[in-house]
């Protein structure tokens, strides 16, 4: 059975448009409760957290009702970062964790994503089991078997202590001035405290959520606000998180943005020089410069499909500890089970403090390759094997690039588009080849 509602990162969409409606989320809570109830005997507990969107109140109540109807106890965490919910799912020995969030999307979107009891995202078979129950009418358990709900008052404190504990004992950020952009999202009450309690001077930015301003002209996807603030405050750096706190971007002391690929390189190089880095997992969109730079250091690198769940799968298969995406999803699997913006930021700051080197110097070890992408709108499902003319165009471009560049054609998972991307050391060659390949794609399927 295929999945109708679950995408690569849960279920997401516009609030009020199916399936992001109160009645569907109520039934989703019940279906999830039934599936997880079947996996264990005795006490059944699921933790539920959310970001700061106004619709979170509605969906929290709907999930709570559905889970209780299925006979499951509910621990309500309130606004908490996605990685905090993964962590607390493990520490509470819960059967699952549920996050109400649409990550970096605007406030009028929302979504639901799940973690298993181990703190990892659900495997496909569990999501398919939940979808199977969604086909059935809700059947409420007998009153004697209904679940109960309680609020966890110390959730934020538990997570803050966890983040601080990912650094070696005695680590300090004393003397650093950091601007922290919380995207008016789930990290507004945790991230500034993590850095402040480790000794840093913290300037808070976008840390006053009102239900509507999450990700609005702020956060990791829109770093201009942070860049200006770092320069104006004469800060040592800036840290930008997204709405649910699972991705991070930096700004160096000169106001230059530092993306996820560069941050992964900084962490990998430091680990390689201080005890070893077994390997790094990136995605099809990871910058070729990172791959080349890592290989020059003797650090193995592998690419996966786009999506942090695929990066995590690759890390688990290879028993590696570091991976992520250029968007700032960075997974340190020796420390936690999912992308965690605060934890990744601390790893970067630790490398800076221990080496006594500013970020703009550390990132110079990786030369970013120029990258250009053109979106070609298509009218049908795209499969490269069906278009030999396009295959020939790609092959010709790859031949011209030799081994110092790459061509990628990737159908969008959400729109009728093919993304044509070329990446190489020579920016002019990149621009020429991406236009040539895109023109062929347009003539064939546009």
Where are the domains positioned within the chain?
11-153, 159-365, 371-445
- What average pLDDT score do residues 93-121 get? 97
Distance CA(228)–CA(421), nearest Å, equals: 30
pLDDT the model gives residue 239:
98
Q: Is 105 exposed, middle or buried (0-12, 13-18, 19+ CB in 10 A)?
A: buried
Other beta carbons within 10 angstroms of residue 402's beta carbon come to 8
pLDDT the model gives residue 381:
75
C-alpha 192: how far from chain center? 19
| pLDDT of 244 higher than 80 | yes
- What average pLDDT score do residues 109-131 get? 95
Distance CA(284)–CA(436), nearest Å, equals: 21
| pLDDT of 383 higher than 90 | no
- What average pLDDT score do residues 412-426 get? 86
Structure tokens at 158: 């538990």
Phi and psi dihedrals of 200, rounded to 5? -75, 155
Report residue 414's pLDDT band, with 50, 70 and 90 as the boundaries: low
Task: Judge whether 286 counts as a catalytic residue.
Answer: no
Asked if 11-153 and 159-365 have one fold, the answer is yes
Q: 283-303: buried (b, 16+ CB within 10 Å) or exposed (e) per residue?
A: bbbbbbbbbbbbeeeebebbb
Distance CA(110)–CA(16), nearest Å, equals: 10
Cβ 390 vs Cβ 418: under 8 Å: no
Distance CA(391)–CA(73), nearest Å, equals: 54
Q: Which of 203-207, 265-269, 364-368 has the lowest mean pLDDT?
A: 364-368
For the stretch 161-185, pLDDT in tens is 999 999 999 999 999 999 999 999 9
For the stretch 305-326, pLDDT in tens is 988 889 999 999 999 999 999 9
Distance CA(396)–CA(33), nearest Å, equals: 53
pLDDT the model gives residue 7:
85
pLDDT the model gives residue 413:
66
pLDDT the model gives residue 402:
87
Beta-carbon contacts of 356 under 8 Å, excluding residues fewer than 6 positions away, are none
List the CATH code of the domain at 11-153: 3.40.120.10
CATH of 159-365 given 2.30.40.10, 1.10.8.640, 3.40.120.10, 3.40.50.2300: 3.40.120.10
Given 37, 55, 101, 103, the catalytic residue: 103
Report residue 379's pLDDT band, with 50, 70 and 90 as the boundaries: confident
Give me the DSSP letters along 17-65.
STTSSHHHHHHHHHHHHHHHHTT-SS--EEEEEE-S-TTHHHHHHHHHH
- What average pLDDT score do residues 400-410 get? 91
Q: Which residue has the higher pLDDT, 248 or 385?
A: 248
Q: 30-44: buried (b, 16+ CB within 10 Å) or exposed (e) per residue?
A: bbbbbbbbeeeeeeb
| pLDDT of 41 higher than 70 | yes
| pLDDT of 272 higher than 80 | yes
- What average pLDDT score do residues 83-107 get? 97
Q: Which of 7-11, 241-245, 252-256 has the lowest mean pLDDT?
A: 7-11
pLDDT the model gives residue 191:
98
How distant, in Å, are the alpha carbons of 133, 196, 261, 282, 311 from that of 288? 43, 35, 10, 10, 16
Of 89, 36, 90, 64, whose CA–CA distance to 147 is shortest? Answer: 64
Distance CA(218)–CA(393), nearest Å, equals: 40
Mapped onto helix, strand or coil, the DSSP state of residue 313 is: helix
List the CATH code of the domain at 371-445: 3.30.310.50
- What average pLDDT score do residues 179-204 get? 98
Q: Helix count (H) and strand count (E) of the chain?
A: 14, 18
pTM of the model: 0.93
Mean pLDDT of the chain: 95
- What average pLDDT score do residues 197-226 get? 97
pLDDT the model gives residue 385:
85
């Amino acid at each position: 059975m295929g999945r109708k509602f679950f995408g690569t990162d849960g279920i997401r969409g516009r609030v009020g448009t199916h399936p992001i409606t109160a009645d569907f989320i109520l039934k989703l809570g019940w279906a999830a409760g039934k599936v997880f109830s079947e996996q264990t005997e005795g006490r059944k507990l699921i933790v539920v957290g959310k970001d700061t969107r106004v619709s979170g109140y509605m969906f929290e109540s709907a999930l709570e009702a559905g889970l209780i109807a299925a006979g499951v106890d509910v621990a309500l965490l309130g606004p908490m970062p996605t990685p905090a919910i993964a962590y607390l799912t493990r520490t509470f020995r819960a059967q699952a964790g549920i996050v109400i969030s649409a990550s970096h999307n605007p406030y009028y979107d929302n979504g639901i994503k799940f973690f298993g009891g181990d703190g990892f995202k659900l495997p496909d078979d569990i999501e398919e089991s939940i979808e199977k129950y969604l086909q059935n009418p809700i059947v409420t358990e007998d009153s004697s078997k209904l679940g109960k709900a309680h609020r966890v008052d110390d959730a934020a404190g538990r997570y803050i202590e966890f983040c601080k504990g990912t650094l070696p004992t005695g680590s300090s950020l004393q003397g650093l001035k950091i601007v922290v952009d919380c995207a008016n999202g789930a990290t507004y009450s945790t991230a500034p405290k993590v850095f402040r309690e480790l000794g840093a001077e913290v300037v808070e930015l976008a840390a006053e959520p009102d239900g509507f301003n999450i990700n609005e002209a702020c956060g990791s996807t829109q770093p201009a606000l942070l860049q200006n603030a770092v320069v104006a405050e004469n800060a040592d750096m800036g840290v930008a998180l997204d709405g649910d706190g699972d991705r991070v971007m930096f700004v160096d002391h000169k106001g230059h943005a530092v993306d996820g690929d560069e941050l992964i390189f900084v962490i990998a190089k430091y680990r390689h020089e201080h005890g070893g880095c077994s390997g790094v997992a990136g995605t099809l969109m990871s910058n070729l410069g990172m791959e080349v730079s890592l290989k020059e250091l003797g650090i193995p690198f592998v690419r996966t499909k786009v999506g942090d769940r695929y990066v995590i799968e690759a890390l688990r298969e290879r028993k590696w500890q570091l991976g992520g995406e250029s968007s700032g999803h960075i997974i340190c699997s020796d420390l936690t089970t999912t992308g965690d913006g605060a934890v990744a930021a601390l790893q970067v700051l630790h490398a800076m403090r221990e080496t006594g080197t500013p970020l703009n110097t550390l990132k110079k070890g990786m030369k970013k390759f120029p990258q250009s992408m053109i979106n070609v709108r298509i009218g049908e499902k795209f499969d490269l094997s069906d278009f030999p003319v396009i295959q020939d165009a790609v092959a010709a471009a790859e031949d011209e690039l030799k081994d110092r560049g790459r061509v990628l054609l990737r159908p969008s998972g959400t729109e009728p588009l093919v993304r044509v991307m070329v990446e190489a050391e020579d920016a002019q060659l990149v621009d020429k080849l991406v236009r040539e390949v895109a023109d062929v794609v347009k003539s064939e399927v546009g």
